Amino acid sequence: MLRIGLTGGIGAGKSTVARELAALGAVIVDGDKIAREVVEPGTPGLAALVEAFGDGILAEDGSLNRPALAAIAFSDDESRARLNAITHPLVGARSQELIVAAGPDAVIVQDIPLLVENQAAPMFHLVIIVWVDAEERVRRLVESRGMAEEDARARIAAQATDEQRRAVADVWLENTGTEEETREAVRALWSERIAPYAANVNSRRAAEDAPAVQDRAYGERLVGRLWVTLGAEATRVTAVGDTGAAAEVVLADGVATGDVAGRLGEAGFARVGDTDEFRGSDPGRAVTVRVAAQGPAGA
């Protein structure tokens, strides 16, 4: 299974990218759609929101009045945190149900508006950022969604900055041209990177002739990905060199390289023979991970 995190600022055009990925065969797990589902009338999620923010967030028919909730929840950090504490666990649980149902060989694209803010990037093989500058997003929100300009700017200001998004981006997809140009870019990304990456992961195979990418910021992302993958079975994970393309892992006492090879393979790092070296399955980036086992377990 290949898991892709898709995100970008409100109004950036993630839905266009998601639709094209779905047409190409990806299974889309839409965070916004699920967020609406878990607070439908009669759900525990809606009851919790009413308890936290009052009956004023309800429409006359008993459904959630989203603009009313947004006006309260995005007014300050404390209110936004209270909203997130209610909705995020519900969305996470439903998302996991859909991922399991998709099957082990699927390409899963999780459309998560707050992926960066929630520091969820290490959970994914790839993170795709859809980008449009803030002024264009304001224009789109006002003209296409009927949002008041003040509300649009408040929503944008409450989200991650472009710099924060760049720090986690494996793919920076500029959605500044026509819709067809964006779709063409997605198709190229699928054929050149996503589909072969998925095939490599499913076969536990390293990518051949992956390019060396000079990206010092990737080192931190690589370390985060390895910690998420290995958890307590690693005692140290460090980036090596200044290109961001290599890391070293020291395993806990008694844990052998063979014990973690399967999980590393699932995470996109294929073992080279019976050695302690693993290489990335991503055809878009050459990566090397060296694992040092300690204790008596052996390989």
Question: Are 182 and 258 contained in the same domain?
Answer: no
Q: What is the span of the domain harbouring residue 261?
A: 216-292
Contact status, residue 13 vs residue 135, Cβ threshold 8 Å: no
Domain boundary among 173, 202, 231: 202
Q: Residue 299 — very low, low, confident or very high, per pLDDT cuts 50/70/90?
A: very low
211 occurs within a structural domain: no
Contact status, residue 199 vs residue 226, Cβ threshold 8 Å: no
Q: Which tens digit of pLDDT belongs to each residue from 153-208?
A: 988 988 899 999 999 999 999 998 899 999 999 999 999 999 999 999 999 999 99
pLDDT at residue 152 is higher than 50: yes
Q: What is the CATH number of the domain that holds 191?
A: 3.40.50.300
21 occurs within a structural domain: yes
Q: Which tens digit of pLDDT belongs to each residue from 233-276?
A: 999 999 998 777 999 999 999 999 999 999 999 999 999 999 99
297 occurs within a structural domain: no
Q: What is the CATH number of the domain that holds 260?
A: 3.30.460.10
N residues, the chain: 299
Q: Residue 288 — very low, low, confident or very high, per pLDDT cuts 50/70/90?
A: very high
Average pLDDT over residues 77-99: 91
Question: Are 189 and 230 contained in the same domain?
Answer: no
SS3 287: coil
> Do the strands 277-280 and 288-292 form a parallel or antiparallel pair, or are they unpaired?
antiparallel
Question: Are 136 and 14 contained in the same domain?
Answer: yes
pLDDT of residue 236: 95
Comparison of pLDDT for 43 and 217, the residue scoring more: 43
207 occurs within a structural domain: no
Percent of the chain whose pLDDT exceeds 70? 98
Question: Are 135 and 16 contained in the same domain?
Answer: yes
Question: Are 163 and 231 contained in the same domain?
Answer: no
Domain boundary among 177, 202, 227: 202
Q: Nearest-CA neighbor of 74 among 147, 162, 16, 164?
A: 147
Q: Which residue bears the tokens 């504490």?
A: 85
Contact status, residue 91 vs residue 139, Cβ threshold 8 Å: no
pLDDT of residue 296: 46
Question: Are 123 and 227 contained in the same domain?
Answer: no
Average pLDDT of the chain to the nearest whole number: 92
Question: Are 232 and 172 contained in the same domain?
Answer: no
Residues ≥6 apart with Cβ < 8 Å to 149: 138, 142
Domain boundary among 202, 228, 254: 202
Q: Which tens digit of pLDDT belongs to each residue from 25-78?
A: 999 999 889 999 999 999 999 999 999 999 999 999 999 999 899 888 888 889
What does the alpha-carbon distance between residue 71 and residue 16 come to, in Å, rounded to a whole number? 27
pLDDT of residue 298: 42
Question: Are 169 and 22 contained in the same domain?
Answer: yes
Where does 74-230 show beta strands of DSSP type E? Answer: 107-111, 126-131, 171-174
264 occurs within a structural domain: yes
Question: Are 8 and 123 contained in the same domain?
Answer: yes
For helices 66-73 and 44-53, angle between their N-to-C axes, nearest 10 degrees: 50
Average pLDDT over residues 204-227: 92
Question: Are 192 and 242 contained in the same domain?
Answer: no
pLDDT of residue 39: 95
pLDDT at residue 11 is higher than 90: no
For helices 216-230 and 257-266, angle between their N-to-C axes, nearest 10 degrees: 120
Q: Residue 116 — very low, low, confident or very high, per pLDDT cuts 50/70/90?
A: very high
Domain count, the chain: 2
Q: What is the pTM of this model?
A: 0.84
79 occurs within a structural domain: yes
Q: Which tens digit of pLDDT belongs to each residue from 128-151?
A: 999 998 888 888 899 888 888 988
Contact status, residue 158 vs residue 136, Cβ threshold 8 Å: no
